[in-house]
Every structure is written in structure tokens, then in C-alpha cells.
Chains A and B, each alone.
Chain A
Amino acid sequence: MSKISPKQHWWNNAQHRSLFFQVLLVSLLAGFFWFIGTNTLANLEKRGISTGFGFLSLKAGFGILQSLIPYDESYTFARTFFVGLLNTLLVSGLGIIFATIIGFTVGVARLSNNWLISRLAGVYVEMFRNIPLLLQIFFWYFAVLRALPSPRQSWSTGERIFLNIRGLYLPQPILGDGFSLVGWVFATALIATFLIWRWAKKRQDETGQQFKMFRVGFGLVVGLPLLVFFALGSPLSWDVPKLQGFNFRGGMTIIPELTALLVALSVYTATFIAEAVRSGILAVNSGQTEAASALGLHKSKVLRLVVIPQALRVIIPQLTSQYLNLVKNSSLATAIGYPDLVAVFAGTTLNQTGQAIEIIAMTMSVYLFISLTISGIMNWYNKKIMLVER
């Protein structure tokens, strides 16, 4: 560019300009960080807050409503971080499972040739995705679960499962001697099934011979562990919750905060997943279906071998971004007091220690780490399944 016109001034040279502009950017950025850095240090000194992560080894001194790992007041702030993180992962994991199930069902239902079913699915999607998630969480928590009866008037099914204002009480499985063997058999069967599936696929590619994979896999993964389970004399018992005084003892408790958050997250995210599924299926050219039928494939095979693999190419990127949204949205837990990472760590711990910068930075890094990891995996996957065109 610079050699086009001999009269060109040096400031009109594209390279000079871009160099100048970038130097300007860097110095602005450095100036900005210098500004907030010095201010922060001055402010911290004035308020008498010491920086650093030393507070993590201090005693927390507060209880947490729900914890997946042993925890009480005597543990450290570092422990509260992990309790909160695990609670976030729990609600996100369960939410992803439920949202996927509801979302796929509704997405397929929306394309149903049954007029009523497709309309109902449409109403579901339009209704729940246009209402703020926080409002839905509040609705389930304050208007529905707070209106449940007291423990003495619990709703119950067969005196095993109880639902009341304090939560959902379920029988807890107690694993007896030898149950771990069942687990090992199950894990081995999974690996064996995978290996057989690879072998069968390879053989079919080479020779065209098919293998009854479903029967063999089902027998290995479900049948074999069941057989071992009964052969060992059913080493599993249930701890059923019982009403004692004003509350239930024994069994598993699912706190209403978790239920409300989970229902709202699943119902809300499912609407977006349903739209992704619908757009994915619609994106498969109808010629593909017709061509597959013309080859004489059975309807279920057309779906399984032709439509779904192509639809997944469209669905999966959108699905991942919805999963990420769900994980990020699970931080709304703090509004109803479910002890997730934000509520426990960026809420209670921050109030107790005043270490705002360290705590917010740690909390944000967790979410950032999850997001960047998943989007990294996504990009790799996208490259792998991208259509290779001419």
C-alpha cells in the first residue's frame, strides 16, 4: 500500500497507523489498570483490609443448609468454597438432565403432525421463555412450595415419599456388603459393550454383516449387574423417612430451595432446548429423508441414520450454549437462599471477611473456567463434525 503514491505522508501509511493505534490502546489500558490499581490499594489501606488469600484458612463459623461433603461451623472458608461449588455443580447437573429430557420431548412434540400436541408444545415454549427466570424461581419457591402443608399434614405416596413445606423426603438407599461388586460388574460391562460396539462397527464397515448390538449391550449393561445383584442376595435396603415429633427423621431430604431452583431452571432452559431441537430437525433438507426412503430404509432407520446425525450438527452447538446458560443461571440460587457458590461464597463469606476482590475474582474464575472449558471442547467438536465440502 505504501508504495502506491510517492507523495503519501507517513501518517497515512496503514502500518504506521495500526502501530500508532495499538500503542495508544496499550497505553490507555495500562493507564486504566494503573488508575484502578492505585485507587484500590489506597482504599484497602484506608479501610484496613489486608489483601491475599490467607482468609481461606480461617474458621468459617456459619452453617450451610445443604452440603454434599462433611461440613459444619468448624471448617474453614476454603471448605465453604467447595461446598458452594459442589452445590452449584449438583443443581446444574440435575438441571441439565431434566432440561434436556423436557426440551427434546417438547421440541419433537412441536413438529408432531398432531395439531393439538404441536400447539400445546408451542404454548409451553412461548409461555415460559418470555417470563424472567428469577420470577419463575420466586413463583415456584414462594407461591408453590411455601404453600405446601406442614410436616404433620404431608402429602405422601404409600408412606414412603413425603412432600411438605420443609422439603421432599425420599427413602435413602443403604448399600449392603458386596454392593460394590455390582458396581464393578456394571463398569466392566460398560467398557465391554463399548469395545464390542467398536468391533461390530468395524466388522460392518468391512463385511456388511450386522451385529445384534442392542440385545448384547442391554444384556451386558442391565442384565449382568442385576444377575450379580440377586445372586448376592439383594444387598440393598432402604431407610424410609418417619415422622417424629414435628419433623421427619431418616431418609433423604431434598430442600425446597433445590426443588424450586431445579424446576425453574429446567422448565426455562427446556424452552430454548426445544427451539434448538426444532430448528435442528427442520434444518435437515427434506430431500435427505426422501432419498433415504427411496433407498428402502425403514422409517426408524431414516430417523436414526439420516435425520438425527445431521440435525445434531445444528442442535449440539446451541445445546451447549444453553447448558452454559443454565450453569450461569444457577447462580440465581442466591435469591431464594439455595447455598450455591455465589450465595455461600460471594454472599456469606464475603460479608464475614470483607475480602471483596479475592472472593469475587475466585467466584468469577470458576464460572469463567467452566465456560471456557466447555466452549473449547465445543469448538473442537464443531471442527470435527463440520461438513467437509468440495
Chain B
Amino acid sequence: MTVHITSPSPSLAPPASSVGVVGWLRGNLFSSPLNTIFTLAGFYLLYSLLPPAINWAVFSADWVGTTKEACTSEGACWVFVGVRLNQFLFGFYPPSEYWRVVVAFSLIGVLVAWLLIDRTPKKGLVGAFTILGYPVIAYYLFYGGAFGLQVVETYKWGGLMLTLILATTGMFFSFPIGIILALGRRSSMPIAKSMSVVFIEFWRGVPLITVLFMSSVMLPMFIPENMQIDKLLRAMIGIIFFQSAYMAEVVRGGLQAIPRGQLEAAEALGLSYWKSMIFIILPQALKLVIPGIVNTFIALFKDTTLVLIIGLFDLLAVVQAAFADPKWLGFSVEGYVFVASVYWVSCFSMSRYSQHLEKKLHTGHAR
């Protein structure tokens, strides 16, 4: 008798149409007649938009020169942006003092990087310096008036520099105010609670433009006649109040996500209200809402453009004003593309960073 040994024959390779490039194409682009139509329409859209746009912006653009005559080709005239770059960055700040702005922003850049990068020592010390020391240094660098620095009035501030100053001061002050408002809203004291609710809902219910209008026409009436508030400071106050209401709601979201047991445990240990907030509740709550905080910062950064309506020269306003120069008429698209890319790169990288943080800090609280 012969013995039949059966062994499974080797599996066949998957059909050529379901693997590799062909398989990917079939699965992702041409899986059904409708999808095929969509894909073709999509490619047509790309084909009709992308090459002309790239050609305009890069290949047939003019990059070097100092006058309008340098722009001879069909494409974009980046000379316009190049010639006015200093104004776009610093507004009407005196050119001999540009170094002060550069130093101030480099310093905060280094400080923030120090705090954000993981393995840097002495974070507490650097953090304390950023919060307490840096604003003073920055004030004297930007405004001057001490240490032999020439005074630069705020109406000369402008461009990207003003945008960044508005956004960072708005953030810096709205954060603590927002935390206090959020705690107030969840407080058991009826008066503190209702005051916080009214404050938050009021500022969240009105558009930023009306807030800026209010700060520019009503604020001067609220103070004694012999006092003057600088125009920039008035706008800042409006932005800070507006922003802190949004910040309060973000922080409240974090506070609500912390289980009640945490507070009860803190109380059982005999911690006072402020101690249990500062050491137990807030560190957990704020960690949860870092993405939300970054998002409000992005919104604030974009909203600073509105100050042009009350006559401050932020980045957009300076560029908009440059279009009126009779020597450089007709380059509005270049200007807008430049401003848009500055904002886009900043906002996009911030939102990517917040997504990265969200993953990094995810320790199981969020459902």
C-alpha cells in the first residue's frame, strides 16, 4: 500500500490587481464608477490650478531689483515685498533701533523653546524669568526710555512686530484672568459665580470689532480727563478682556473633566481651596486643555488683524497701506499672498504642535 502524504500547496500570490501600485490605485482612486468620475474631476482641478499658480509664484516671477521696472515678466513681482520688507516687519520703527525688536523677539523665542523642549534644566527658574522678568525687559526694549535707549512712541510700532506684540500680550494677560474667571464660574459663592458668568457671556456675545470700537471711543470717557491712555494700550485692553472670556471657557472645560474625587481627596488631606486648586486641580485641568489654549491663541493671532479698523498698523494694515503707493500700484495679490503665507505658516505649525502635544500628554483622562 502506498502512503499518500498530503501537504497544503503554497498559497497563491494575491492577484496583481489588488497589490502594489495598481492595487492601491484601484482601491483608492477608481473603486467605483462614481469614484472614477470624482478622481478625474479632482485631477482636472489640480491640473488647471496648480501649474499656473506655481508658474506665477516661482518660475516666471521677478525676485531681484529695487524698482517697479525690475518686474518685467508675467509672474509675481516679489520685488515689491522685498523692497518694503523692513516696513512690513517693523512698521515705522526707526531703522537704527531695529536691533532692539530683534533682540526682544529672539529672547522670547529662546525662552519659549527652553520651556517647550523636553530635556532642558532649570525649567522653573526660566519659567519664572519669562513671566516676571521678560515683560519688563521687553517693555524697555520696545518702548525705550531707560538705560540710554531712545523712546519710540507706540504710533511708530507696526507690521509683524505689532501683530506679535498684540498676540503675545493678549495671551500673557488673558491666561491668568481666564483661569480666575473659570474658577469663579465654578465657585460656590453665588455673587462671584454670577459676576463671572455675566463677564464671560458678555464678551463672548459681541464681535471683537465692537469691542475695539468700544475701547477706542468709550474708554477715553471712562477715565479722568487729565489721564491719557495710549491708542495701542486701549486696543490691548479690549483684546485682553475679549480673549480672557474665551480662555475662561477653555479652562472651564478642563476643570469639568477632572473627576470630583480629586478635589475631595485634596480636601481630605486638609488642603485649602487655593492649595488644592494650584497643586491638584489646575495642573491636571490645564494639561487637558493645552490644545484648546493653543487654538484660542491661533484665533487671537488671526484676530489681531482687526486692529487695522481702529487705525493701528499691524502686518495686514501696513501691507494694505503699501498698495496705495503710486510707485507700486497693482501688486495687491503679491502683498496678500505674502501676508497670507506668514499667517498660514504660523497658524498651521501651531495647530500641528498642539496636535503633537495632545498625543504626548494623553494620560487617560480624556474619554
Contact with A along B214-232 (1 / 0, CB 8 A): 1001101111110000000
User: For the complex, is A356 an interface residue (Cβ under 8 Å from B)?
Assistant: yes
A112 contacts across to B, CB distance below 8 A: 38
A115 contacts across to B, CB distance below 8 A: 28-29
Taking A132-B316, A135-B343 as known contacts, 15 extra A-B pairs with beta carbons closer than 8 A to each other, sorted by chain A number, are A44-B221, A113-B35, A114-B28, A116-B39, A117-B35, A117-B38, A131-B302, A135-B340, A138-B320, A331-B210, A332-B306, A346-B210, A360-B214, A368-B205, A371-B205
Complex Cα gap A368–B200 (Å): 12
| Partner pick for B42 among A120, A135, A142, CB 8 A cutoff | A120
Complex Cα gap A274–B348 (Å): 17
Q: Verify B344–A142 contact, CB threshold 8 A.
A: no
User: For the complex, is B202 an interface residue (Cβ under 8 Å from A)?
Assistant: yes
- 3 nearest CB pairs, A to B: A371-B205, A115-B28, A130-B347
Interface residue ranges, A against B (CB under 8 Å): 18, 21-22, 25-26, 29, 35-36, 39-40, 42-44, 46, 112-117, 120, 126-127, 129-135, 138-139, 142-143, 328-329, 331-332, 334-335, 342, 346, 350, 356-357, 360, 363-364, 367-368, 371-372
User: For the complex, is B201 an interface residue (Cβ under 8 Å from A)?
Assistant: yes
| Partner pick for B209 among A139, A334, A372, CB 8 A cutoff | A334
Query: Nearest-CB distance from A331 to chain B (Å)?
Result: 4
A116 contacts across to B, CB distance below 8 A: 28-29, 38-39, 42-43
User: For the complex, is B126 an interface residue (Cβ under 8 Å from A)?
Assistant: no
Query: Nearest-CB distance from A146 to chain B (Å)?
Result: 8
Count of interface residues, chain B, beta-carbon cutoff 8 Å: 55
Q: Verify B201–A372 contact, CB threshold 8 A.
A: yes
User: For the complex, is B131 an interface residue (Cβ under 8 Å from A)?
Assistant: no
16 A-B Cβ contacts within 8 A? A22-B192, A25-B191, A36-B222, A114-B29, A114-B42, A116-B42, A116-B43, A131-B302, A132-B305, A139-B336, A143-B336, A332-B306, A350-B213, A356-B221, A363-B210, A371-B205
Q: Verify B189–A18 contact, CB threshold 8 A.
A: yes
B221 contacts across to A, CB distance below 8 A: 39-40, 43-44, 356-357
Query: Nearest-CB distance from A330 to chain B (Å)?
Result: 8
Complex Cα gap A127–B333 (Å): 17
Q: Verify B206–A43 contact, CB threshold 8 A.
A: no
Complex Cα gap A386–B344 (Å): 37
Complex Cα gap A120–B44 (Å): 12
A142 contacts across to B, CB distance below 8 A: 323, 332, 336
Contact with A along B304-341 (1 / 0, CB 8 A): 01101100000010001001000000001100100110
Complex Cα gap A181–B220 (Å): 58
B223 contacts across to A, CB distance below 8 A: 36, 39
Complex Cα gap A30–B38 (Å): 64
B206 contacts across to A, CB distance below 8 A: 328, 364, 367-368, 371
Query: Nearest-CB distance from B160 to chain A (Å)?
Result: 13
A350 contacts across to B, CB distance below 8 A: 213, 217
**For chain B residues 1-40, which have a beta carbon within 8 Å of chain A?**
28-29, 31, 35, 38-39
Query: Nearest-CB distance from A66 to chain B (Å)?
Result: 19
Q: With contacts A114-B28, A360-B217 known, is A29 near B305, CB below 8 A? A: no
| Partner pick for B336 among A21, A113, A135, CB 8 A cutoff | A135
B42 contacts across to A, CB distance below 8 A: 114, 116-117, 120
Most interface-central of B188, B210, B336, B347 (chain A CB within 10 A): B210
User: For the complex, is B364 an interface residue (Cβ under 8 Å from A)?
Assistant: no
| Partner pick for B302 among A35, A117, A127, A133, CB 8 A cutoff | A133
Query: Nearest-CB distance from B328 to chain A (Å)?
Result: 14
A329 contacts across to B, CB distance below 8 A: 207
User: For the complex, is B269 an interface residue (Cβ under 8 Å from A)?
Assistant: no
Q: Verify B343–A367 contact, CB threshold 8 A.
A: no
A29 contacts across to B, CB distance below 8 A: 195
Query: Nearest-CB distance from B61 to chain A (Å)?
Result: 16
User: For the complex, is B204 an interface residue (Cβ under 8 Å from A)?
Assistant: yes
User: For the complex, is B45 an interface residue (Cβ under 8 Å from A)?
Assistant: yes
**For chain B residues 102-137, which have a beta carbon within 8 Å of chain A?**
none
- Chain A residue nearest in CB terms to B201: A372
Q: Verify A132–B29 contact, CB threshold 8 A.
A: no
Q: Verify A113–B31 contact, CB threshold 8 A.
A: yes
Most interface-central of A43, A44, A130, A138 (chain B CB within 10 A): A130
- Chain B residue nearest in CB terms to A329: B207
User: For the complex, is B303 an interface residue (Cβ under 8 Å from A)?
Assistant: yes
B46 contacts across to A, CB distance below 8 A: 120
Query: Nearest-CB distance from B194 to chain A (Å)?
Result: 10
| Partner pick for A132 among B217, B218, B302, B333, CB 8 A cutoff | B302
